[in-house]
């Protein structure tokens, strides 16, 4: 026995202050969300509370899902190069994007069928975005109308994402509704000549609204809150296209137009007098063409890995696009962002703005609007801590020198700061 110190019986007066037993409480949303310290924690909660069809639609990607995995891996294979002995008591995440000031360099990407993930849907996400001072983008495949989103978040910045349908007149009717609702930025998605092979959705036989059959009812047993909300709130439907009875994959193939070209982009530019952002850029050449045809911004995106199984990683593409386009237009980026540090890395390497999709949907599934706010709180906290650790006080001070590609992936291309 160790005799280097004297033992004694525990004394109650010394032990009592260490005993901290809280009063038992019933489970609730706030308590559940407070335990989530990362976006990955929110994903765990979301999976427990959401049927497999909606969860897999959010969580999955095309075919082997390699594109999504590589996009996330790209951020993990970077390291920061901090400055030390800098005064970082007061820092700011504010940024200027498309002529507007936002509280953080991240916006809410357009996601389809959002009320399928949680009954509060798009309105909850728009309200959370308004609260945090960042933009929300409603999808053409949304389950809430643009008018209702603006009503839910009247003081927020609400953008609209357009899929150009085969029916051009119907597409422009949506654009005109968005304009009438005060939308100033139209985001045109261009990487969908055909729907990607999203195997999880096919295996689940996913429909909107979810079909009630033996499989879905069995899956619902441990997720009663989702089903109670589903059965006691207005029916989930495509606001832009009602009465669709097929699967999601069939709908996408019906809607998306494989004949769309840069002439259509030119035509949309002539029809829309607000800001125009083109989403789904995957090559330097196409980025240049978008600038030539009048885009105000592009989003380097592989659709969250949901289209091609071997699509370029936006973060890897960023440096080349930035070098070629310089300030011809704004360069935005999405796909794979799961941490505030991912956002800082993208900004340091030249992005003007970033978007999250799954990250906030995990929060929505975990706890409605409060869950989305929890996701944004986590990301904001990570960014604030990260920017201080980098030794800078504002987003504008982030430079390529603050990021280095790890040697394992050095052969994929030289990033600034890599020697």
Catalytic machinery residues: 303
Q: Are 336 and 315 in contact (CB under 8 A)?
A: yes
Q: Please list, in sequence order, all residues whose beta carbon lies within 8 angstroms of the beta carbon of residue 256, skipping any fewer than 6 positions away.
A: 163, 165, 192, 193, 194, 195
Q: Are 149 and 238 in contact (CB under 8 A)?
A: no
As a whole number of angstroms, the distance between CA 151 and CA 126 comes to 10
Residues in the chain: 419
- C-alpha Rg value of the chain to the nearest Å: 23
Q: For residues 358, 140, 325 and 82, what is the CA-based torsion angle, rounded to 10 degrees? A: -20
Class of residue 234 by CB neighbours under 10 A (exposed 0-12, middle 13-18, buried 19+): exposed
As a whole number of angstroms, the distance between CA 375 and CA 362 comes to 8
Q: For residues 105, 108, 110 and 112, what is the CA-based torsion angle, rounded to 10 degrees? A: 160
Paired residues of 400 in beta bridges: none
């Amino acid at each position: 026995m160790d005799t280097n110190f004297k033992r004694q019986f525990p004394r109650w007066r010394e032990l009592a202050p260490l005993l901290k037993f809280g009063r038992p409480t019933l489970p609730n949303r706030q308590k559940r969300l407070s335990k989530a310290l990362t976006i990955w924690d929110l994903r765990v909660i979301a999976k427990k509370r959401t049927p497999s069809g909606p969860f897999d639609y959010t969580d999955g990607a095309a075919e082997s899902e390699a594109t999504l995995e590589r996009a996330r891996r790209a951020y993990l294979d970077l390291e920061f190069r901090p400055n030390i002995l800098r005064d970082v008591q007061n820092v700011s995440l504010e940024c200027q994007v498309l002529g507007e000031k936002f509280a953080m360099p991240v916006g809410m990407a357009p996601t389809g069928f959002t009320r399928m993930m949680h009954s509060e849907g798009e309105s909850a996400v728009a309200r959370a975005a308004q609260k945090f001072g960042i933009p929300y983008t409603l999808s053409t495949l949304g389950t809430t109308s643009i008018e209702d989103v603006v009503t839910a978040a009247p003081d927020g910045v609400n953008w609209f994402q357009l899929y150009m349908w085969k029916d051009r007149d119907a597409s422009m009717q949506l654009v005109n509704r968005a304009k009438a609702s005060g939308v100033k930025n139209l985001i045109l998605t261009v990487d969908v000549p055909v729907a990607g092979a999203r195997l999880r959705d096919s295996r689940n036989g996913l429909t909107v609204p979810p079909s009630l059959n033996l499989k879905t009812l069995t899956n619902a047993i441990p997720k009663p809150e989702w089903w109670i909300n589903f059965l006691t709130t207005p029916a989930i439907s495509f606001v832009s296209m009602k009465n669709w009875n097929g699967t999601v994959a069939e709908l996408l193939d019906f809607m998306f137009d494989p004949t769309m070209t840069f002439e259509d982009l030119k035509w949309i530019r002539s029809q829309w007098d607000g800001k125009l952002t083109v989403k789904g850029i995957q090559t330097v050449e196409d980025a240049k063409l978008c600038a030539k045809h009048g885009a105000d911004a592009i989003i380097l995106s592989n659709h969250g890995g949901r289209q091609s199984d071997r699509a370029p990683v936006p973060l890897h593409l960023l440096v080349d696009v930035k070098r070629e386009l310089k300030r011809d237009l704004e360069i935005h980026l999405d796909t794979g962002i799961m941490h505030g540090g991912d956002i800082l890395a993208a900004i340091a390497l030249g992005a003007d703005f970033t978007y999250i999709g799954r990250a906030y949907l995990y929060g929505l599934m975990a706890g409605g609007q409060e869950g989305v706010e929890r996701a944004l709180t986590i990301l904001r906290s990570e960014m604030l801590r990260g920017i201080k650790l980098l030794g800078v006080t504002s987003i504008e001070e982030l430079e390529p020198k603050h990021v280095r590609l790890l040697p394992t992936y050095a052969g994929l291309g030289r990033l600034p700061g890599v020697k």
